A and B are shown apart, each in its own frame.
Chain A
Amino acid sequence: MSDNNLTNKVMNIKSHRLSKKEIDDNFSDLHAPLSAIEALIEADRCYFCYDAPCTKACPSDIDVPGFIQSIRSDNLTGAAEKILSENIFGGMCARDCPTEELCQLACVRNDHEQKPVEIGLLQRYATDSVLNNGVQLFSRQENTGKSIAVVGAGPAGISCAHRLAVLGHKITVYDAKDKLGGLNEYGIAAYKTPNDFAQQELDYILDIGGITIETGMQLGKQINLESLQEKYDAVFLGCGLGSVNKLNLDNEDISGVIDAVEYIANLRQTNNKDELMVGKNIVVIGGGMTAIDIAVQSKLLGAEQVTIAYRRSKKIMAASEYEQALAKKHDVQIQYNMSPKRLIADDSHVTAMEFDVMKPQKNGSLKASGENITLKADVVFKAIGQKLVTEGLTENNSLEIEKGRIVVDEHRKTSLSKVWAGGDCVLDGDNLTVSAVQDGKLAAISINETLTQGA
C-alpha cells in the first residue's frame, strides 16, 4: 500500500471489521441478473416507442426498443449486436450507468405506471449472453495500413481502439497501469462489477485482434504526445484525470486523510477485502459518484459511522437521487452545505474535521453562515474531483486546454490536426462511462474518415 493509505497505527483503524463471508456477501452483485423468464416478461413491457425517448437519452445512442424487441423474440445475439455495435462496453454500462437518470428516466412507462422498463437489467441480460458464451460479433475489415496510438486503456480509449480495429486500422494502446480497463478496473464500485467482469469484458473486446497493448507507459515519462504524433497516423487521448484535487487545507498531508480514488483502486485490486484497513468514523468530502462509492463501500467494509459532507445543497449534488438513496439505504449520512474548514489532528493523525455551515444565496453562491460543525473522524476521504495531468501532453504543441480539460469539437477532435480525445480528460464531459465510450466511438469514426479520405 502507498503512503497515502491506512496503517493500523491508530487504534480505530483496523482490518477484519467484518468476517470474510460478510464482506463477500456485501460486495456481491448490487442487482441480481434477470433470469430468462424475468427478462421475457420485462421485455414485454417495452412499448417499442417511436423515436424512442430512451434511445435519445442514451449518451451512446443504443437502440433500446430495438434490442428489447430482440430479447422478446429470443434473438439474444441480435439484441447484443444492437447494443454492442453502438457501445462496445454495453456490458459494463448495463452495470454502472445511472439508468435512473438516463434511459429509464425517459421511459414512457414512468408516465403510465411510475415504473420504467428495467432497461439496464435487460441490457445486461442481452450482453451477458454473448460475453458469457464468447460469441464474437465483430470482425476486422481489410487492413488499411494506418496505425493509431491510443493513450489510456479506459472505456474511451478501448472503445476508440475497438472501433478503429473493426475498420481495419492497426492500434497501439498505451496505459500507465499494469492492468487495462481504466476506471472500469480501478474505479467503479466493486458491487457493480463483481467477478472480475471488467477484465472479462476487455478480453471479449480485444479478442477482435489488431490491438497491441503497451502497459506501464505513462505520459510524460515513457511516452509523450509529441513523439506519438510523429510515429502514428493519428492519436487518441483517453488518458482520464491522473491527479486528484486538493482541499487546500493547512495540514492536508496528515495521516488518515486519503484520496478516495486511490483507496477504491486498492479495494478493486485486492483479493482479500477483509484485509483492508477501515476506519471507524469516516467523513467523505464531496458530492459526486466517487463520494457515494467510497461511502457505501466503507460501510460494506464495516465502518461504523460514515458521513458524506457536501459543500452545496441536495438539489445540486452531482450524485443522482438514486445514488443518494442507495447511500442512505446503507446507513450513510449525507450532510449538505458543509464547507471544509479545518482538519483537527492528534499526534499527526486526523481525529475530526471542522466545517463552515454554508448558506446558499439567491444568486446561487454560498456564504458562510457563521455556524460551525465538527465531525469526529479517524479517516477523511477526499472525493472532490480529479484533474488532468499535462506532463507529456502539452509540451511543444498548441493543444488547447480549458478549465484543466482538453478542448474537443463534436467529432472529439482536438486543436491538433492528428489528435482526438475523449472521456474524462475532455471539456464538458459528464464523467460517465457511457459518455467516455461514446467519445471513443465518435473519435474513431472521425479518425477513420480523416485517414481514409482520398485513399
Chain B
Amino acid sequence: MADLTSNFLGIKSPNPFWLASAPPTDKAYNVNRAFEAGWGGVSWKTLGEDPHIVNVNGPRYTTMMSNDRRVIGFNNIELITDRPFQVNLKEMRQVKRDWPDRALVASVMFPMNEASWAKHIPIIEDTGIDGFELNFGCPHGMSERGMGAAVGQVPEYIKQATEWCKKYATVPVIVKLTPNITDVIYPAEAVLEGGGDAVSLINTINSIMRVDYDSLTMFPTTGGMGTHGGYCGEAVKPIALNMVAEIARNEKTRNLPISGIGGVSTWKDAVDFIALGASNVQVCTAAMVYGFKIVEDMKTGLSNFLDEKGMNSVDELIGKAVPSVTDWKFLNLNHVDKAVIDQDKCIKCGRCHIVCEDTSHQAIEYSTDSGDRVFTVKDDECVGCNLCVSVCPVIDCISMVAMTSGTDPRTGKAISPQASDWTTHPNNPLKVS
C-alpha cells in the first residue's frame, strides 16, 4: 500500500485530504466527527475580530443539480465564524490536544491594519495550531467590509497582510486565493513577496444560481432580496486546476507549495490537483453533499492508484503533469489527429454526426444505405477537434488517433516528424525568424 502521509510545509497529516475552512469545520463537534471519519486535517472555519459577525437566518446554500438530484455546483452566502473568538480558540486547543496526528490550521481574516494582526495572531497560535491560512478569498459579505476577496484582488494588500501575519506567527502561513481575478499569477507572486509559505486555491467564485420562475426574483432570497454568493463544487474544478497549474509552472512561483481546493469529490479529483502541482487537497462541497464518510473512498482510491502507478507516496505524484502544461503558442502545429469510430462499440445514436455537422467541421458521414445506421469519419474533413469524443455516450468508442506518416487527406500536406509551433509559423506576424 502506498504511503498516504502528507507533509505540507512541515505540517504532517496521515493523508492529504483536509477539510477546507467552511461550515464543516465550524466547531469542535464537526471537526471531531471529521477526524473520526478519517480526514487528515482541517482548516478551521475562518476566525475574525470580535464582536463576531452574524449570518442571515434564511437560505445560505443553493445547489445546481442534475435531474437525478446529483449536485453539480454549490453556492453559499455564509460568512466567517459567527461564534465568539474565545469559544473558537478554546475548542481548537482541545481538538489539537485530542488529535495530535491531524493537521489543524487556523483560517483567519482581519482588517487591513497591522494592530489587528498583531493582536490576534499570537493568541491563535498559542492554541497549538499547525499553521495559518489567510482567507483572502471570500467573495461575498466580508469583501464588502474590505476583507476576504477585497484583499485577494489587490496584490499589494496580499503582500502587506501576508507580511503582517508572518511577522507575528512562527508556524507556516498559507494564503488562500480568490479566483475572482484576471490572472492568478499576480496574487501568487504577491504571496511570495510577502513571505508566505504556501498558497491554497481556489476560494469560491462570484455567482447567482438562478431566478425563481414564479416570482421572477433572483433565487434564493432572504425574504425577497438576494445577493451573490460563492460558487464551488464539481463544476468549478477545471477553473481551479488551471489556476493551480499556472502557479506551478510559473517561473517565480513554481516552488511555492500549493494546497489544491475546488470541487474535489473523489480520489481522481485529488490526482488531478496533485499531478498539476498541489501537495495536498482541501474538500468542502463533497462533504457538505455526502457527509464525512466520503473520505474513505478518497483514501483507498488514491492509495490504489499510487500502487498501480508504482508510486510509494503522494509526494511522487506531485507536479507530475505540470511539464505537460504549456502556452498555446508552443503546441505542435504539425501534429495531426483523426477521429476513429470503433464500429463494434458504436450504438448509432448519431450524436457525433449531428454535432460535427451542425457546429463543427462536417466530418462525420451518416449513411443508411446498408439499411443500418452507419457513422463514418471523413478524414479529409476531420480537424481532430475531439468534439465527437466529447459527446459520445459510449466509453472508448471514438478515439483520436495521431497520424505518424503519410499525408493528411484534409490539407494534402505530408505528416512531418518535426514539431513546429506558432512562434515560427509563417502566418505569425511576430514569428521568430
| Chain B, interface SS category | loop
* B69 on interface, CB distance cutoff 8 Å: yes
Query: Are A111 and B353 neighbours in the complex by a CB distance under 8 Å?
Result: no
How many residues belonging to A are interface residues under a CB distance threshold of 8 Å?
17
Pick out which of these stretches binds chain A: B282-290, B318-326, B332-340, B343-351. B343-351
Query: Are B350 and A51 neighbours in the complex by a CB distance under 8 Å?
Result: yes
* A48 on interface, CB distance cutoff 8 Å: yes
Number of A-B contacts (CB under 8 A): 40
> Looking at B348, B349, B351, which has the most chain A CB atoms within 10 Å of its CB?
B349
If A112-B393, A112-B394 touch, whether A49 touches B69 (CB-CB below 8 Å) is: no
If A40-B68, A41-B68, A112-B394 touch, whether A47 touches B351 (CB-CB below 8 Å) is: yes
Residue of A nearest to B68 (CB): A41
Query: Are B393 and A47 neighbours in the complex by a CB distance under 8 Å?
Result: yes
Query: Are B69 and A51 neighbours in the complex by a CB distance under 8 Å?
Result: no
| Interface residues of A, Cβ cutoff 8 Å to B | 37, 40-41, 43-44, 47-53, 72, 108-109, 111-112
* B182 on interface, CB distance cutoff 8 Å: no
Query: Are B67 and A111 neighbours in the complex by a CB distance under 8 Å?
Result: no
| Chain A, interface SS category | helix
Question: Among the listed A37, A44, A108, which residue makes an inter-chain contact with B348, where contact means beta carbons less than 8 Å apart?
Answer: A108
Residue of A nearest to B357 (CB): A50
CB of A67, distance to nearest CB on chain B (Å): 15
If A108-B347, A111-B347, A112-B393 touch, whether A50 touches B366 (CB-CB below 8 Å) is: yes
Residues on A with C-beta less than 8 A from B68 are: 37, 40-41, 44
Residue of A nearest to B352 (CB): A50
Complex Cα spacing A232 to B299, Å = 79
Residue of B nearest to A37 (CB): B69
If A108-B348, A112-B394 touch, whether A50 touches B67 (CB-CB below 8 Å) is: no
Category for how many chain B residues contact A: 10 to 19
Query: Are A40 and B67 neighbours in the complex by a CB distance under 8 Å?
Result: yes
* B210 on interface, CB distance cutoff 8 Å: no
**Would you mind naming 10 contact pairs between A and B with Cβ atoms under 8 Å apart?**
A41-B68, A43-B67, A44-B66, A44-B67, A48-B351, A49-B348, A50-B353, A51-B373, A108-B349, A111-B347
Query: Are B347 and A112 neighbours in the complex by a CB distance under 8 Å?
Result: yes
Q: A49-B348, A108-B348 are in contact. List 15 more A-B contacts (CB 8 A).
A: A37-B69, A40-B68, A43-B67, A44-B66, A48-B351, A49-B349, A49-B350, A50-B354, A52-B350, A53-B348, A72-B67, A108-B347, A108-B349, A111-B347, A112-B394
Residues on B with C-beta less than 8 A from A41 are: 67-68
Complex Cα spacing A210 to B78, Å = 60
Complex Cα spacing A72 to B67, Å = 7
Complex Cα spacing A72 to B350, Å = 20
Residue of B nearest to A50 (CB): B350
CB of B417, distance to nearest CB on chain A (Å): 38
Residues on A with C-beta less than 8 A from B354 are: 50
CB of A25, distance to nearest CB on chain B (Å): 31
